[in-house]
Structure 1
Amino acid sequence: MVTPRRSAFAEESAEVEVLFANMEKLKSITKKIQGSLNRLETSGKTVQDSVGPIYGNTQRLQVTNANIDRVIDAIDRIRAPLDQTSREERIIRAGPRKVPLPDYLASIDRTTIALKDLKRSNLRSNQQAVAELNTLIKVGTKQLEDIFREILSEGARQTVDALEYVVKEKPFPRIPENDVSTLRLINTHISASSGQMSETARRDTPTLKWYAEVRGDYLNNSLRNLATASVSTARKVSADEIYKRGTNGIGVYAQGMEGLFVAEYESLCPIFPREEWGMVYTTTCQSSLDEFTKTLRELNGHIQKNLMTDCFLGYEIIDIVSNLSLRLESKTGELKRPIYDSLRLIRETSKASLGKLLEDMRNKVQSLVALPMDGAALPTTVEAMSRLQAMTQYLRPLSSIMTSLGDGGWSSNAAATSNTSLPTMKSFDVGADGKQLFAHYCSDTIDMLLTNLENKGRTLLKGKNLQGVFIANNVAVIDRMIRQSELQPIMGSYSKLDSWRKKGTAMYLEAWREPSTFLLDVQYTNRSGRPHSGGAGSTDSVALIKSLSSKDKDAIKERFKNFNMSFDDLVSRHKTYKMEREVRAQLAREVQTIIEPLYGRFWDRYHEIDKGKGKYVKYDKSQLGGTLAGLA
């Protein structure tokens, strides 16, 4: 048992010894490794101290090299435009007539970009190159300007006959589409080049100036004949002839101007940018507008010299030109104010004409030294009403004028205190009804006319009956000229004319009071045996005559004689008067209404005074009725 145990211990002891031996070797190896690490650390520090500065220098060299590369690239980019200059110069100096326009414009674009890059570099060494490129672009721009103007001049060389286009209602010509495309390209490049070379505003670009000049002359020359015709057609053969609507050429002139201006606006819009349309359009049309204003000034002078007959031309011009300004504004958005301002003189003349017409009418009546002895209506009345009838054709401009004057502003006193173009509070009465104001003006005209005629009739005509016929005739002419014209719907409610008609009738009937007084019978209620006043028949008349005393009979005879004399005289005078048809009928009816009942009653009572011999009783009832009926 002991032997196996010792063997086991011996084996374990041998293993322990082996382990101890391995541990000793491990310690020896560890010491060697530690020594190697120490030596390696020492060597690393030495290497680091040697390599560190070299690495830092290498990094700085890399940054420097990168910067140098970038500088070289920048120099290459800066030199690139300079390298292109000679090639672009050959193209630009050759001109767009020898080089296709797209190539020429592309060359200018490249030169413009090169100039922009050089200016951005801000290098002093490039200043000479900048100056050369500026000069080159100026040469190219000048040549483009010449082409731009040549294209415009070619299209504007042949002016149009505006009258032909208006009469035949043909659309006015525009710049051809091909030319519009070319002009648009050129304008775009010239604007860009001008902006590159200086701080010049776009509105000062040469293309705008050339367009306005060339096309402005084209418009002005195309309208010159219409302007001349407008002035020449204002001349009249008869000095006292009232102007007739449409006989002056101003209407065709306005139509021609509208057609040309709208066509021009449609032509320029594709050429210029949107923000320049209004400026280019206004500048282009300015010379034509100046000529138009000059024409209106000449027409205004003609109107002032012939105000009583040609004020209607002024009204027509206001209507035509006002509508023209509104239509152009709706189609182009421009020119409303300058066109409306061209009316200033004619508008002032037209405003003054309303009072002048009243004053002229009053002066004509007051200057009369004689009136028709037959009571006929005066030509002045016809003339005044003809003017009012003519005015109905110009209600629109007259409404505007009268609204600015205010109700009653046409009177001489109002005109004297408001002889200015400055607006008044009445001018802003937007609720004023122009047609109603015109009706008031007509009423004032008629009232003034009849008042002056009445005063003049009392001075120059003898007898109320003649004066009454005179007034009644003039009233009839006025009434007829109202009813037979456009004045009727405007003055339908004019009631003063009835008052004047009644006044004329009353004046005429006043003369018939004399024969009427001879027919008025005195009733004696305290006498017996007298038949009733309403009685009729020969029996009543015979009985009544028998009951009268000799003195009463003589009085009845005298009254018959006086009636006959007065009645015959009035009938005779009535037939000598010149009466309007409706006046004669109306006055005859009024006389018959008064005389016939009175005479019938008087005749029924006293016709037996001469026992049918006709010595005193000249008319029986039927004869008197026939005579009165013959007055009509």
Structure 2
Amino acid sequence: MVAPRKMALAEESAEVEVLFANMEKLKSLTKKIQGSLNRLETSGKSVEDAIRPIYGNTQRLQTTNNNIDKVVEAIDRIRQPLDQRSREERVINAGPKKVGLADFIASLDRTTQALGELKQSNLRSNQQAIAELNSLLKRGTKQLEDVFREILREDARMVEPLHYITKQLPFPAIPEDKVSQLRTINSHVAASVAQISQTDLRDTPTAKIYAEVRGEYMTNTLRNLSAACVSTAKKTTADALYRQGTNGIGTYCAGIEGIMTAEYNNICHIFAREDWARVYTATCQTTLNEFAKTLRELNTHVKNNLLTDCFLAYEIIDVVSNLSLRLEKHTGELKRAVADALKPIRETAKSSLRSLLEDVRNKVQSLVAVPIDGSATNATAEMMARLQQMTNYLTPLASVLISLGDGGWSNGSTAASTSSHKSFDVGADGRQLFANYAIEMIDTHLKELDAKARVLHKSKSLQGVFIANNVAIIDRMIRSSELAGLMGSAQKLVEGWRKKGTQAYLDAWKEPSAYLLDVQYTNRGGRPPSGGAHSVDSASVIKNLSSKDRDSLKEKWKNFNVAFDELIAKHKGYGMEKEVKTQLAREVQTMIEPLYGRFWDRYHEIDKGKGKYVKYDKAQLGTTLSSLA
């Protein structure tokens, strides 16, 4: 038993020794591995330090390679348009008629693109190529401009404007197929010119061509209407007032509106939105110049015949102002240009208002005679005819009067100009200003007539008849025209002058009226009876008079009869307007008849009905006075 146990222990001891021996080897191996790891770490750091710059250089090389690839690609792209130059040159040199407009434009577009790419390259070696492509593009663009001009000229023959005006038809537009071609050409020419030009060109060659060709077409079409304005302004009768609508300015403006509206529509279909105003203004410029010239000629005519043809100036202001408003509404343009053309006429219209007032004074002051029967002077009807004529032009006159300011028409030219700046009020009532102007003209006229009558008519009665007749004509012409609705405030003036004329006329009737007045003494024989005729006993009154009073009474009757008969004859010899005759007869009857009736009631028995002193009974006197009307 002992022997097996020893053997077992020996084996275990041997295994333990082997195990220790292995552990020693493992420790030794671990130390070696640790040493190897330390050496590997040190080597790794060295490798990393060595590889890092190599990796960075590799990345930079990759970037450089990419850049080189891009440069190569750019060079290829640069070379590509250069390679196309020969082919595009053949197309452009052949021209649009041979190769067709579409192919020609396509070639031009490719050339434009190639030129743009060459300019972007900014390589000095490409400068020669850029110059050659520039020259090629210029030639091609010039040919395209010629095509643009030819297409425009096909529809630029003048038309008869009256055909479209009288039938209220729109003026002809450029056909749609040609509009499409023109639009395409314009856009490509604009692109080519932008590439060729070194500066920003606002007006492209096609815009200039359009303005030239279409401007000439418009001017030629309207030339006869312009000439008609000047010819219809010529006078056949020197002192005849201008009649509304007899001048051709209305037709001329209708033609301008029609043709310019049609032209604006053409432009909107052909050019870019930002170019409309510029191209439209340039296209219309020649026509506007011709229009301004025509207005200057008409203005010269009006100034030479200001007192009769100032109404033409008012009509021109009205028609042209409306034209300006309608053009601005449709196109948004030309208002200022049309207003500038109208300025000379407006200034003439302003001066005419002062001249008409001055003419009123001068015409009366220059009279060497007035109607000897007290009839109205022709100058009154002429003045009122002018005012009546003015009512046909209230709208333009209102604008002129507002610019002058209330009362500005009475000043001299320099003062009026200053006054207009001070008193200009856009909110002023033009109709009221016209009423004020008309009232001033009427008052000025009547004052001058009154002064002239005092010189040329010796009797105050005749002066009164003269004034009353002129007032009657003024009042009648106001009531029978548009002036009635405008000059309500003139009634006070008219009534004032009518009263003045009436009082002057009645001045002569004071004499016979004075003969019908007597003095009664209430302390002699009691108070005289009052009341109607039935309460007066003429015989008793006469009986109570002294012989001296009777003689005085007889003298009064005689003097009254003479004065009365003389005034009746004079009254019937006066030239009176119907309403004046009626009104003055009524005033005389109101003045004389009550006095005569009272006087007759008391004293008609002076001649005991023999008629020696008492020529008229009350009924006869009333009939005689009634006959004055």
TM-score (norm. length: structure 1) = 0.92
- Structure 1 counterpart of 2:477, from 478, 481, 493: 481
- From the superposition, tell whether residues 629 and 86 of structure 1 become closer, same or farther in structure 2 (CA, over 3 Å): same
Shift in Å at residue 48 of structure 1? 12
Write the distance in 1 (CA, Å) between the matches of 2:37 and 2:401. Answer: 120
Residues 95 and 539 (structure 1 numbering): CA distance in 2 closer, same or farther, change over 3 Å?
Answer: closer
Contact 1:530 1:544 in 2 (8 A): no
Contact 1:300–1:349 at 8 Å: present in 2 too? Answer: yes
**1:152 counterpart residue number:** 152
Q: Structure 1 277/60 Cα, relative in aligned 2: closer, same or farther at 3 Å?
A: closer
Aligned twin of 2:600: 603
The 3 A distance-change label for structure 1 pair 47 and 168 is: closer
CA distance in 2, matches of 1:35, 1:436: 122
Q: Which amino acid aligns with 2:624?
A: T
Query: 1:585 and 1:516 mapped to 2: Cα distance?
Result: 20
Aligned to 2:509: 512
Measure how far apart 1:392 and its partner are.
1.2
- AA in 2 matched with 1:486: E
SS in 1 for 2:523: coil
> Partner of 1:206 in structure 2?
205
Tell me, yes or no, if structure 1 residue 469 matches structure 2 residue 465: yes
Aligned residue for 1:490?
A: 486
For 1:243, what is the secondary structure of its paired residue? Answer: coil
| Structure 1: 4+ residue segments shifted above 4 A | 20-71
Q: 2 CA distance for matches of 1:573 and 1:199?
A: 97
Cα 1:160–1:601 shift into 2, 3 Å: same
**Quick check: 140-149 or 355-364, which moved more?**
355-364
* Cα 1:91/1:545, change in 2 over 3 Å: same
SS at match of 2:269: coil
Q: Distance in 2 between matches of 1:61 and 1:139?
A: 47
The answer on whether the counterparts of 2:408 and 2:420 sit within 8 Å (CA) in structure 1 is: no
**Is 1:409 the equivalent of 2:405?**
no
Tell me by how many angstroms 1:119 deviates.
1.6
Residue pairs, 1:45-444, within 5 angstroms: 69-156=69-156, 158-411=157-410, 414-418=411-415, 424-426=420-422, 428-444=424-440
2:622 is equivalent to residue 625 of structure 1: yes
Cα separation, partners in 2 of 1:35 and 1:429, compared to 1, 3 Å:
closer
Given the superposition, is the C-alpha separation of residues 373 and 11 from structure 1 closer, same or farther in structure 2, using an over 3 Å criterion? same
C-alpha displacement at 1:56, in angstroms? 10
Structure-2 separation of matches of 1:31 and 1:225? 123
Q: Is 2:568 the counterpart of 1:579?
A: no
Say which SS state the counterpart of residue 204 (structure 1) adopts. coil
**8 Å contact kept, 2:406–2:423:** no
Equivalent of 2:558, from 561, 570, 574? 561
The answer to whether the 8 Å contact 1:538/1:608 transfers is no
Partner-residue secondary structure (3-state), 1:624: helix
Q: Count the aligned residue pairs.
A: 628
- CA–CA distance in structure 2, aligned partners of residues 458 and 600 of structure 1: 34
What is the CA–CA distance in structure 1 between the aligned matches of 2:105 and 2:419, rounded to whole Å? 55
Q: CA deviation at 1:515?
A: 0.8
Shift of 1:207: 0.9
1:416–1:204 Cα change, 3 Å? closer
Deviations 1:248-298 (A, max 9, x none): 111111111111111111111232222222111111111111111110111
Q: What is the alpha-carbon distance in structure 2 between the residues aligned to residue 112 and residue 301 of structure 1? A: 55
Q: Judge conservation of contact 1:325–1:339 (CA < 8 Å) in 2.
A: yes
Tell me the amino acid that sits aligned with residue 278 of structure 2: M
Asked if 1:450 corresponds to 2:446, the answer is: yes
Q: Using a 3 Å threshold, how does the CA distance of structure 1 residues 166 and 14 change in structure 2: closer, same or farther?
A: same
Distance 1:147 1:16, change over 3 A: same
| Cα contact 2:95–2:143 (8 A) shared by 1 | yes
Distance in 1, matches of 2:59 and 2:403, equals 90
Give 1:102 deviation, angstroms: 2.6
8 A Cα contact 1:404 1:423, kept in partner: no
Sort the Cα spacing of 1:211 and 1:423 in 2 relative to 1 into closer, same or farther, 3 A.
Answer: farther
Shift, 1:51, TM fit: 11
Would the alpha carbon gap of residues 30 and 572 (structure 1) be closer, same or farther in structure 2, given more than 3 Å must change?
closer
Change (3 A) 1:346 1:9: same
Moved more, 327-336 or 37-46: 37-46
The residue type equivalent to 1:295 in the other structure is T
Q: Secondary structure at the match of 2:229?
A: helix
Question: Residues 465 and 110 of structure 1: is their aligned pair in 2 closer, same or farther, counting only changes over 3 Å?
Answer: same
Distance 2:70 2:208 in 1: 46
Deviations 1:56-107 (A, max 9, x none): 9998887776565444333322211111111111222222222232322221
Mapping of 1:4-83 within 5 angstroms? 4-19=4-19, 69-83=69-83
**Which stretch shifts more, 430-439 or 391-400?**
430-439
Please state whether the residue corresponding to 1:612 is helix, strand or coil: coil
TM-superposed CA distance for 1:330, in Å, is 1.8
**Alignment partner of 2:97: what SS?**
coil
Residue 269 of structure 1 aligns to a residue whose secondary structure is: helix
Of stretches 203-212 and 524-533 in structure 1, the one that deviates more from structure 2 is 524-533
Aligned twin of 1:616: 613
Distance in 2 between residues matched to 1:51 and 1:464, nearest whole Å:
137
Over residues 489-547 of structure 1, what are the superposed CA-to-partner deviations in whole Å (9 max), with x where a residue is unaligned?
21112211111000000011010111111111210212116751546249701111122
Give the drift of 1:210. 0.5
Per mean C-alpha deviation after superposition, the further-off stretch among 475-484 and 101-110 is: 101-110
How far the C-alpha of 1:143 sits from its partner, in A, is 0.6
Which blocks of at least 5 consecutive residues in structure 2 are unaligned? none
2:537 counterpart residue number: 540
Distance 2:372 2:50 in 1: 147
- Structure 1 residue ranges without an equivalent (≥5): none
Deviation (angstroms), 1:238: 1.9
The question of whether the paired residues in 2 share the 8 Å contact of 1:518 and 1:562 is answered with yes
* 1:52–1:544 CA distance, 2 compared to 1 (3 A): closer
Q: Give RMSD over aligned pairs.
A: 3.0
Contact 2:522 2:528 in 1 (8 A): no
Q: Matches of 1:46 and 1:506 in 2, distance apart? A: 139
Which amino acid in the other structure matches residue 528 of structure 1?
A: G
Amino acid at match of 1:116: G
- Using the size of structure 2 for normalisation, the TM-score is 0.93
1:523 paired with 2:520, answer: yes
Q: Is the 8 A contact 2:404 2:424 kept in 1?
A: no
Q: Which moved more, 1:205-214 or 1:402-411?
A: 402-411
Name the stretch that deviates more: 101-110 or 337-346: 101-110
Change (3 A) 1:542 1:427: closer
Distance (Å, rounded) in 1 between the aligned partners of 2:11 and 2:160: 141
